[in-house]
Each structure stands twice: as C-alpha cells, then as structure tokens.
Structure 1
Amino acid sequence: MTTTTPDIQPAVQYTAQVTILGAGPVGLMMANYLGQMGVEVLLIEKLDQLIDYPRAIGIDDEALRAMQSVGLVDKVLPHTTPWHAMRFLTPKGRCFADIQPMTDEFGWSRRNAFIQPQVDGVLFDGLKRFPNVRWLFSREVEAFSQQENQLTLNIRGPQGEHETVQCDWLVACDGGASFVRRTLNIPFEGKTAPNQWIVIDIANDPISTPHIYMCCDPVRPYVSAALPHGVRRFEFMVMPGETEAQLSEPDNMRRLLSKVLPDPDRVELIRQRVYTHNARLAERFRVDRILLAGDAAHIMPVWQGQGYNSGMRDAFNLAWKLALVVNGKAGDKLLDTYQQERRDHARAMIDLSVTAGHVLAPPKRWQGALRDGLSWLLNYIPPVKRYFLEMRFKPMPRYSAGALVTENETKNSAVGRMFIQPKVTLESGDVVLLDDAIGAGFAVIAWGCNPLWGLSADQIARWRTAGTRFIQVVPEVQIHVSQDNHDGVIRVGDTQGRLKAWFAERPTSIAVLRPDRFVAATAIPQTLGNAMDSLSLAMTLTATGADTPVEKVA
C-alpha cells in the first residue's frame, strides 16, 4: 500500500486547515468526513505505513453507520461477519451468557467481527477521492505551539530533516501514549490491569465454529474468536512470572494451544503479541485549537470490543462540528460540546469493559463460583435472558446537553439519542437505507406533513446553508403516486413501517437530525420554527456562513 501523496512536493513547510495526527481508524475516519466537506486536511503518521497486524476484532452498528456516512460501508462489509454472538463459558464448557444481538435499529447488525487492517485500508484508500486531503508518513512531531489563530508543528522527516506544519486546528489521534496529550499535561486517570494477555492469530481456522467464546477458566481464562477470511484469534491470560519471550517459545506455545486444539502443531501462525489492558480517561478533550480523539482521549479493556467503536463515535461526533467551524458556518464554541457529549459515555464504556473483564476473570476464585451459580439461574428468567440477548446492558450514547435542544423535553425524549435507520422507498421506486436519502448533513424529518411549513424563508435559507435536507415521510403505499409534493422537500415511503411506529410513540411529528444521526430537537409543525432557532443558538450557527452567530428570536 502506498503511503505517500503524489501531489505533495518536498518542502520545509506544509499548511492545512486541519492537521490530524495519527493514521489509525479514528484519524482516517476524521480525514474522510472532513475531506467530503471540502476541508483542507493534512494527515501525519509516525510509522512508514498503516499497521498491518490485527488489533480490534469487533465493529458495531454505530461504527458501520459512520462508515456509511463517508460512502465506504459497502467496501467495509466484505471484511466483516455480521450478527457475531458472544458466549461466556464455564470451565466445563457450559454457556452461562449467550449474547446474540439481533437488532438492526440503526441499519446494520449490532455486533460484527472484522479484520481491522483491511478496514483501515478501505478508509485510507477512501482519502484518495479528495484532492483537499494529503498525508505524510514517517513523520514524528517533536514540538508544537498554539497562537491565537493557528498552530505550528515541528516535525522530523524520514531522513531526519526538519519540517513545519501550520494549521488552524489539530486533532490528536496519536494513541494511548499520545505525545500531544502528555505535552499538554492533561491528566490521564485510571488503572492498568494487573494481568497481561497473549493474543495469537491463526490463518486457515483450525476450528471454524462461528462466534466468539470467552472461557472463564480460573486456571487460565481464554478467548476463542472466529474472524472473517478464515482467521481464528485466541487470547490467553499471562500468568505471574511469565514473559512474552517465554510464551513465544514453541513448547510453551504448544502448551497454550493444547487447551483449545487437539493438534496444536498443525496451525498456520500469523503472529502473537502480548497486550496490557488499561482503563484510562483524559481529563479534557479540548485545549483551545487542539482536540483529542480515540485512544488519546480514552482507552479501555477489549472485553466488549468498545475501544475501536468508542473512537469511531468520537470521530463521528467531532468531524461534523469541526467541518462547520472550519467552513465558517458555526462558531468555535460548538467544539466545546464534543467533550460535553462524549466524555461521560466514554467513561460508561470503560466501566462496562472492566466489568466484562471481571466476569471473564474474577479477581477471586469464590467470585467465579458465585458467578457460575447465579448465571445458571438467571439465564432461565426470560427478562434477564432478553437483557443479554438484546445487548441492553450496553450503555447507548444519550446526550442531555450539548449541540441539541432539551427545552420542554420529557425523561423519555428522543433528543440526544441516535435516530433509527430503517429502509425507505424513494419516489423513483428504489429502496435504500434512510441515511442514503439524508446525505452527510442535517435532516428535518417530518411524518406526513410538509417540514418547511413552520419555517420562515430566512430560517430555511440558514439551514440549507448548513447543509440540511428536508424530508417528508409518508406510508409506503403513497410514495408511488405524485401527491402532496412540496418544492425543496424529499418524499420517502415508510417501507417497513418503523418510522410511523417511532413517531407514534412520541408527542411530536418532526425530528431534527444532526449529521451524526443524533436527534437534536423535536417539534410539531407549529413549534418547529422556535425549535430551529434554539438549535441555531445552541450550535452557534451563523446566518449565511459569516462570522456572526445567530441571535435567538424572541
């Protein structure tokens, strides 16, 4: 894979509107979204190429929806296995928790296995669509400074040469050991797990049973996971006194694999690595013109596969806000809502991952015995069983403050939650997922009514400038006849009846969606104008792309 940009000429100084540090999945997603929004991006990576060894193995529906937003999901899906179940086993092999999430409310399977290097490759290749996105590999940032209106980065090139970058914004996606975070002296509070784990990836899967199994063996817990392209991953806890070098010796490797394979000598080893599991959270995600994302902002144990997916949530939340600010459509106070919305949920995912690790490997043996006894009983109580099967224990992002309007909202309001993504029928007759009709920007989605009716001409112009589409949803049987059409409104048919059901549960008929598909406001036609003005104020939206934020209408 090439890692140089043909149109970048050797130079001492580079310029960009946004510099992204780190070509991992979070940096690549950020670069793709900003690229399609016309932002000038420079992506800087310390390594000479993308990391080629498997790391994360679980990708969820929210991350796939982010891939969809940048037009790459169809190229990502071949590197995934949908509907990937997670099963916790006792030492004797009894399944005491069978998590088979079968919901697709956001348009995709809730839990999927995947091969990260291939998906990272898709994201990197996606950058080649945008002439405004450039990349530099084999560059290490040695220092940086912030001025009032820009940043300067001092970097060392592949031959040791000194180069500089001047940019308006810096997004640090440079991992758990983030140079940027450490230089800014941002506390990174949390704990490091006392035990390490050795990860072994094998080609031509010698077991080939589907799904992922987590065996809660008190002697040596292990994980067995089926991955796409015939890859099997095993993970074993490293016991006190063992080292990576010792475990990598043929006899010790054979001893480990004999726990899970009848013939540990007949394997095609891809690689093995020892990992330490950390649970840490940065105190701040923003310092003036610098923002932290992904592992630079939070790291968590792997047991729920949420490290990768939490990073994708960061990217999806931050990218659209940064694009609005850079393009002069919103004030930079909008960026304060990134930490406001993301930090608490990142903490919740860390806590979930730590809890799952304690289920797999309890700190004390008696806790394992208690777990096995309770699990046997609880698995036969239908509400508890559904709780696991539907993955309700996973904390879904719910924003109570930020770039949204919570006035007059009830406890069970949809505001701050991700909107559903069912299939819809276009007037052309094509059936697509809802986001494909919305596009990459905002959407005002109205059930049955004209979404423009409650807005003034100035409001419509302002929101169109921000990249808003106005959607009217009608029963699927009505979409095949031209009727009730309104200029500037996209009509879609409710193919599966899910949109009607969603609105029927609420007292409002209009939902305002942000580019990351979270509900920013709800209204009825008569209150939509006030809701949109309040949202403009919350996002410091500019009237016509100028520098002056909108004033709230009395």
Structure 2
Amino acid sequence: MATTVSNMTSSDHHADVVILGAGPVGLTIANYLGQCGVDVLVIEKLDQLIDYPRAIGIDDESLRVLQSVGLIDKVLPHTTPNHWMRFLTPKGRCFASIEPKTDEFGWARRNAFIQPQVDRVLFEGLQRFDNVRVLFSREVTDFSQEPSGVVLHMKKGDAPVETVRSRYLVACDGGNSFVRRTLDVPFDGKTAPNQWIVIDIANDPLGTPNIYMCCDPVRPYVSAALPHGIRRFEFMVMPGETEAELSKPENMRKLLAKVLPNPDRVELIRQRVYTHNARLAGRFRVDNILLAGDAAHIMPVWQGQGYNSGIRDANNLAWKLAMVVKGLADPSLLDTYELERRDHARAMIDLSVTAGHVLAPPKRWMGTVRDGISWLLNYVPPVKRYFLEMRFKPMPQYTRGALVAAEPALKRSPVGRMFIQPKVLTEDGRKVLLDDAIGNRFAVIAWGTDPTWGLSAEQVATWKALGACFIQALPSVQLDAGTVAPDGVIRIGDADGRLKEWFGNHPASVVILRPDRFVAALAIPQTLGAVCGQLGKVLGARGSAAGGRVSTVGEAA
C-alpha cells in the first residue's frame, strides 16, 4: 500500500475531504473515510504528531469507534480497563467513587490510556489506504468557499504556496481553531480562573491503581495511574505562580512532597501547565466546512470527556460525510451533525465544570458542606449506586436528526441512543462482538423473524445498494435447527441472551441501526416498510435499485 506521509512538491492538491489537524478526531475521521474509499487529505501544521501529555481517559463509546475503524487490537495494549475514579477528602476519606462495571457497548466503561500512543496507532492505521494522504508542516494561510467546495492555500516554510481544492473541509484544528476564527463563529463560554500543572513520571513511584481526585482546600491535586508504569500528578496553580517558577527543581520538589515520601527519587518525563476552558461553538457547520473536536467545543478535564466528545463527533460525522461524498445522500444530511451533537457536547461541558467544582470548590466553605453531605449520602444505597454506576453521565440521545422519532407515548425510547454490543455466534461457530458481525454499515436486525419480510423487493435492493445488511437474531441453539436463512440474510446467535433481553424491553422486534451504531428507527415486521420509507426521506438517501434506476431509499415498488 502507498505510504500516507507525503512530501509532494506539486502546488496543487485535490481531495473529496480535507481534514485540518492530525489529532485524534481528524485521524479517526480519516480512518473511517479511508475504509469507505473516500479521497482524503489530512493537513497538519506541526512537523509531527503531538507527544506532550494530554488526555488520559478513554470510555467505552470511544473504544467502540476505534473498533469500527479496525484498530482496537492495536489500541487495547495501551489501556488499563476499569480505571475507577475516587474523590478524597483532605483527610483521605473516599466520599465518592465511580466504578461502573457494565459493558453494554462491548468494552469497559472507564479506561486509562496515554493519548500520544493511541494517536500514533490512528496515524499508522492510515497506511492501509491508498486514498488517504497526510501532509505535515503545512500552515493554512487562507481559504474560501465556492459552490463546488472549498479552496485552501497553505505554506511549508519558504516553499511556494500550495493550493488545495476539496468538496468538504473538516476543521479539527483545536480550541484556537484558525478556521472557526476566520469564519467568525462565536465560541462562547468561560475560562477557569486557575491553571493546573501536569507532571508525568516514569516508573510509577506510588504504584497504586486507579485515579484519585484529592480535594485539598490548600492545593487540590490529582494522582492517576497510567499504562506502562507511568504516574500522572496534576496540581492547581495558585495565584501569582508561573510555569517557569513551578518548573524549577526546588518548586517541583515541593509539589511532589505532598504526594511522595521521597520527591527527589523520580524519573520525570515532562511537565506542562494547562488552562481549563468551557466553550461551545455557535455553529458546527458553515456550508461545506464543518467543525469537530476542540474546534467545536472544549471542556475541563475532570470527567475525561474532552477527548471522548471529540471521538463522538468523528463517529457521528464520518459516516454522513461518506454517504454525501459518494452520492448516496443529500448534503442536507450534514445538517443533522450539529443537530445531534451540539446539545450533548453542552451537557458534557456542564458535567465537567460540575466535577471541577467538586474537586476544587470556588469557596472553602463549600468543600466543608460537600464533605458532610457526601458522608451522609454514602449510606443511602440508591445514591451510592448512582455514583458507582456512573448514572450521572449524560448519554447521547438524539431526538431530532437522522432518525425516525418514536411515538411520544413511548417513554425512554431507544431511538437516538447507541445500541448494545453483546457477544454473538456466527453461523460458522465464531463468538464475536456484534459490530464485527455487522461491519460499518446500516443494519436491519429482526428478533427471530426474516428482517426482509416487511419490505418490498425494491426496498431491499435500495437498502443493499447503500451497503445495508439484514440480520436475523436467534437464540443460539436455533442456529443448529438445520433451517436455511432467507436469501441475503445473515443469521446470528444471541450468545448471552442480551439481544432477547433488549428486544423484550421494547415494543418492537425490528431495529434499524445507523453506521455509528445508534438506533435510527424501531418497527415490527408489518410496519417495517413504512418506517424504512420515512427513514429514507429523513436521510435524503439514494441507492441504485434493481434495474439501475435511482430511487429514494424506502420508496415503494
């Protein structure tokens, strides 16, 4: 396969999609589009991937996305599953512990990781694709939009200006996004009054697992065990302190003396001062330009959701871009990206700000109240479970967008929520995670029945033209009944009974999944044709029906 890193001397470049920024969000989108055969150009201002300390928490949703781009086996060795978070009082009492042990999406809900190592996996994953190129050391100087797409100009040092033409530009260029600022998109929110210094140490001098949020009223700090024997400490920077002062050996020793008996005996990797912001872009799309990751929203680190929110953006946007670029959907589908992602990004910002106030209350008396209330609530089982199981985390749920909304009377509808990922049995006897049986595509999954029964022949053809698969889910023992699956239908066995439980909890026996694993619609066999028709109109989707005529997905024969 062709190498993804390019030193092309031509002054002109062309791509279907240009991604500005080789961070985790841009690299994830590039990997997904690469799998779909979309021509992608990634432009990075720096001369290499960033290697300084950044995110340390990756959740189950993000791992599922990395699974979808075929890189999960290379990522997992750089993670620590079931990485609990514990809040401690100044005297060391644990007043709240976050220990979610469910795995409804196929992976542990909280995991430690070291971001540069996973970014490297994502970057190297691009080498699989001839249709993806990466250009380092390029600074975009200006851009403009035309009816056919976006034109950019960029420079590499003293070399001649290079011109790039693309249909779409995805700006993943960080919280200080050049693209967002040039478009004059508001970035409203607040900047925290205190900075924090992050210190990474090799050969962990503590060795204890998990992450501890130490609510010291004098100087709050965080102590986190990371993979490969690395320990991270984060200390609040007090008024009047500077990064230069704190980085002096004698001051670094004073900080570490709070947490280590021998602060001189450490192997320092690096330290860096961060400012915590909570900001949200006023728009995520301006014609053929889309904002993603930190360019669209930034948040404090306290729930580890900045990185994960960016990966959610990638998961939501990439499949829509692929459909539009390949002519399978109307460009209006891209409007659903902001419609679906913006409110949830705001919810995660609010959660992160709240967690920061728990760690470091704005007023000292608030910490005393916090400690007293938490001591009492620890003895109330429902409250304790609420924290242990991480029920406070707002899960993405889309009520508008690329979906067919459930009836208003149906409370807690799964439509717009991520579908579960249990283990399933394939017909050849393999036990795999559900997504590995589906692939990156739409899926019509029916419990016990033929998933094509309620569709016309033309509907089946048009959904197949979109790459959709039809799946019949059965109790595993029924795979050995000797019956033959309907033509074009994949049969899977419900290995652990979780699919049966899911369908049993909802008034529907057929679920339509989007490529990002969110539930697009529910039906029963007798209503499936009508529901698919509605979904096709919402998507503005098109596919080649039998006989070559182009028809709207869901159109009756």
Amino acid of the residue matched to residue 133 of structure 1? V
What's the counterpart of residue 21 of structure 1?
20
Contact 2:4/2:132 (8 A) holds in 1: no
Instruction: Summarize deviations over 1:456-478 as a string: whole Å, max 9, x none.
Output: 11111111111111111100111
- Partners of 1:28 and 1:235 lie apart in 2 by 27
- Partners of 2:370 and 2:171 lie apart in 1 by 40
Q: Give the deviation of 1:27 after TM superposition.
A: 0.2
Q: Residue 200 of structure 2 aligns to a residue in which SS?
A: strand
What's the counterpart of residue 316 of structure 2?
317
Q: Residue 479 of structure 1 aligns to a residue in which SS?
A: helix
Contact 2:320/2:334 (8 A) holds in 1: yes
Alignment of 1:147-546 (within 5 A): 147-408=146-407, 410-544=410-544
Distance 1:6 1:292, change over 3 A: closer
Contact 1:473/1:492 (8 A) holds in 2: yes
Amino acid of the residue matched to residue 309 of structure 2? S
Instruction: Summarize deviations over 1:414-454 as a string: whole Å, max 9, x none.
Output: 10000000000111110000000000111111100000100
Q: Give the deviation of 1:6 after TM superposition.
A: 5.9
Distance 1:63 1:348, change over 3 A: same
Contact 1:426/1:493 (8 A) holds in 2: yes
Q: TM-score when scaled to structure 1?
A: 0.98
Q: Does 1:118 align with 2:149?
A: no
Distance 1:7 1:139, change over 3 A: closer
- Partners of 2:179 and 2:120 lie apart in 1 by 25
- Partners of 1:106 and 1:281 lie apart in 2 by 27
Q: Give the deviation of 1:74 after TM superposition.
A: 0.7
- Partners of 1:92 and 1:380 lie apart in 2 by 19
Q: Give the deviation of 1:334 after TM superposition.
A: 0.3
Amino acid of the residue matched to residue 541 of structure 1? A
- Partners of 1:324 and 1:245 lie apart in 2 by 49
Q: Give the deviation of 1:270 after TM superposition.
A: 0.4
- Partners of 2:246 and 2:389 lie apart in 1 by 37
- Partners of 1:430 and 1:5 lie apart in 2 by 34
- Partners of 2:447 and 2:3 lie apart in 1 by 48
Amino acid of the residue matched to residue 273 of structure 2? V
Contact 1:302/1:353 (8 A) holds in 2: yes
Q: Give the deviation of 1:483 after TM superposition.
A: 1.5
- Partners of 1:273 and 1:53 lie apart in 2 by 8
- Partners of 1:464 and 1:188 lie apart in 2 by 41
Amino acid of the residue matched to residue 509 of structure 1? S
Amino acid of the residue matched to residue 21 of structure 1? L
Q: Does 1:144 align with 2:119?
A: no
Contact 2:170/2:289 (8 A) holds in 1: yes
Contact 1:330/1:549 (8 A) holds in 2: no
Q: Give the deviation of 1:279 after TM superposition.
A: 0.1
Amino acid of the residue matched to residue 419 of structure 1? F
- Partners of 1:8 and 1:234 lie apart in 2 by 39
- Partners of 1:464 and 1:36 lie apart in 2 by 18
- Partners of 2:141 and 2:312 lie apart in 1 by 28
Contact 2:406/2:413 (8 A) holds in 1: no
Q: Residue 104 of structure 2 aligns to a residue in which SS?
A: coil
- Partners of 1:522 and 1:551 lie apart in 2 by 15
- Partners of 1:448 and 1:47 lie apart in 2 by 53
Aligned residues: 552
Q: Give the deviation of 1:411 after TM superposition.
A: 2.4
Q: Give the deviation of 1:408 after TM superposition.
A: 2.5
Contact 2:21/2:45 (8 A) holds in 1: yes
Unmatched 5+ stretches in structure 2: none
Q: Give the deviation of 1:380 after TM superposition.
A: 1.3
Amino acid of the residue matched to residue 341 of structure 1? E
- Partners of 1:472 and 1:549 lie apart in 2 by 25
Amino acid of the residue matched to residue 150 of structure 2? L
Q: Give the deviation of 1:325 after TM superposition.
A: 0.1
Distance 1:197 1:547, change over 3 A: farther
- Partners of 1:436 and 1:498 lie apart in 2 by 16
Contact 1:35/1:132 (8 A) holds in 2: yes
Contact 1:154/1:163 (8 A) holds in 2: yes
Aligned-residue RMSD, C-alpha: 1.5
- Partners of 1:517 and 1:552 lie apart in 2 by 24
Contact 1:513/1:520 (8 A) holds in 2: yes
- Partners of 1:8 and 1:486 lie apart in 2 by 51
Contact 1:4/1:135 (8 A) holds in 2: no
Q: Residue 511 of structure 1 aligns to a residue in which SS?
A: strand
- Partners of 2:228 and 2:497 lie apart in 1 by 36
Contact 2:3/2:127 (8 A) holds in 1: no
Q: Give the deviation of 1:553 after TM superposition.
A: 5.8
Contact 1:47/1:137 (8 A) holds in 2: yes
Unmatched 5+ stretches in structure 1: none
- Partners of 1:484 and 1:447 lie apart in 2 by 16
What's the counterpart of residue 56 of structure 1?
55
- Partners of 1:407 and 1:108 lie apart in 2 by 28
Q: Give the deviation of 1:549 after TM superposition.
A: 5.1
Q: Give the deviation of 1:7 after TM superposition.
A: 6.2
Amino acid of the residue matched to residue 395 of structure 1? P
Distance 1:7 1:23, change over 3 A: closer
Q: Does 1:127 align with 2:96?
A: no
Q: Give the deviation of 1:484 after TM superposition.
A: 4.8
Q: Residue 321 of structure 2 aligns to a residue in which SS?
A: helix
536-545 vs 488-497, greater mean Cα deviation:
536-545
Q: Does 1:81 align with 2:80?
A: yes
408-417 vs 237-246, greater mean Cα deviation:
408-417
The alignment-based identity, stated in percent, is 71
Q: Give the deviation of 1:47 after TM superposition.
A: 0.3
Amino acid of the residue matched to residue 381 of structure 1? V
Q: Give the deviation of 1:485 after TM superposition.
A: 1.5
- Partners of 1:547 and 1:7 lie apart in 2 by 38
What's the counterpart of residue 101 of structure 2?
102
- Partners of 1:413 and 1:292 lie apart in 2 by 29
- Partners of 1:456 and 1:298 lie apart in 2 by 43
Contact 1:22/1:174 (8 A) holds in 2: yes
Contact 1:4/1:136 (8 A) holds in 2: no
- Partners of 1:88 and 1:438 lie apart in 2 by 40
Q: Give the deviation of 1:228 after TM superposition.
A: 0.1
